[in-house]
Amino acid sequence: MRIIKTKDYNDMSRKAANYIGALIINKPDCVLGLATGSTPIGTYKNLVAGYENGDYDFSNVRSVNLDEYKGLPKENEQSYYYFMHDNLFSHVNIDPANTHLPDGTEPDSQKACEEYNKVIASMGGVDLQLLGLGHDGHIGFNEPNDEFDKETHCVDLTEMTIEANKRFFNSIDEVPRQAYTMGIATIMRAKCVLMVVSGKDKAEILKKSFFGPITPQVPASILQLHPNFVLIADEDALSAL
Ligand SMILES: N[C@@H]1[C@@H](O)[C@H](O)[C@@H](COP(=O)(O)O)O[C@@H]1O
């Protein structure tokens, strides 16, 4: 595990975008595993700026997203489909046909998950998986559990996650209770895992995840075993170490 300590959120976002941008320059047809949440927004802004100034060309980049709420239509502003278009895809020259998210509009969970596993397999491996960190240690929507969930599956979101994500909705009742998420085994197979973490409110869970025991009760802790795990975190997020 490599820790890159940054001054603040902006510094974190710029360094993470530089990291991803270097991969795009090196491997123009790379497969990016992408994440949502508020933390990567700055990273995406910097990637868009890099595209605009001619540093990054997304025309051959392919992407697979970590997760999607179950039951939200694509045009719902809180769907991760909408988020990705709003924050990245519609601002760069990525081919929409090369971007993938689980289908949150598919009511049949087994079908949605099997289809997404096939999509992931067809990409031939993720070069870089970007991750945020949930307050309970979740990655994607892999919530604390008695075992590590391996492939794409449907999850019941925990109260903590519903509570944390309600800020994006009009009321807590609107927050979906379920989501489709890539599994831990898929995340662990990525050649490189890049996590961005910012803020004092993440300091305790960051410490627990990467300096505590490896346990499915703290899903992110499994990343301690990843051969190429890079954590880009700001001083606040690292303040409990
Ligand atoms: N499914 C997403 C995660 O992928 C994300 O890492 C987490 C943290 O979000 P934030 O970055 O807003 O703290 O939120 C959501 O639950």
Write out pLDDT tens, residues 87-120: 999 999 999 999 999 999 999 999 999 999 999 9
Domain contains 139: yes
**Is a pLDDT exceeding 90 seen at residue 201?**
yes
**Atom 9 (ligand 1) nearest CA:** 37
123-132: per-residue pLDDT in tens? Answer: 999 999 999 9
Q: How far is the CA of 38 from the centre of ligand 1 (A)?
A: 7
Domain contains 212: yes
Segments forming the whole domain that contains residue 134? 2-234
Structural domain total, the chain: 1
pTM score > 0.90 for this model?
A: yes
138 a catalytic residue = yes
Q: How far is the CA of 161 from the centre of ligand 1 (A)?
A: 8
**Is a pLDDT exceeding 90 seen at residue 78?**
yes
Domain contains 101: yes
List own/partner pairs for 103-111 with CB under 8 A and 24 or more apart: 103/68, 103/180, 104/68, 104/69, 104/70, 104/71, 104/72, 104/73, 104/74, 104/79, 104/80, 104/179, 104/180, 105/71, 105/72, 105/73, 105/74, 107/70, 107/71, 109/70, 109/153, 109/154, 109/178, 109/180
**Is a pLDDT exceeding 90 seen at residue 187?**
yes
Domain contains 239: no
11 a catalytic residue = no
CATH number of the domain that residue 166 is part of = 3.40.50.1360
Atom of ligand 1 nearest to the CA of 35: 4
68, 103, 127, 143: the catalytic one is 143
ipTM associated with this complex = 0.96
Domain contains 16: yes
108 a catalytic residue = no
